[in-house]
Amino acid sequence: MSQRFEYKVILYREALLGSILLGESKVDPERFQEFLNKHAALGWRVREIVRENRRTLLFFNREAFVVILERDLTPQLSNQRDQF
């Protein structure tokens, strides 16, 4: 039996307020780590991350990550493999 996966694409970015006040907004590493760990606890794993800078309201830069997550839809096979 072959493995089946499902995928989720999420655009992760910080709030717009930092861009407006500072002219530029970077992703907070601690918050991003919490975001990844929250999804990992639900069985998701990172397949790919793409970093990009997005212009907001013509003048402000905002860092964002496109995160592609993958989750195995056949957990019973994974559990059987772990037992041996």
Q: Which of 53-57, 62-66, 74-78 has the highest mean pLDDT?
A: 62-66
- Is the Cβ–Cβ distance between 12 and 54 less than 8 Å? no
- Is the Cβ–Cβ distance between 25 and 63 less than 8 Å? yes
Q: Is the pTM of this model over 0.75?
A: no
Segment 21-58, tens digit of pLDDT: 444 557 778 988 999 999 999 999 999 999 887 666 66
- The model's confidence at residue 75, banded by pLDDT at 50, 70 and 90, is low
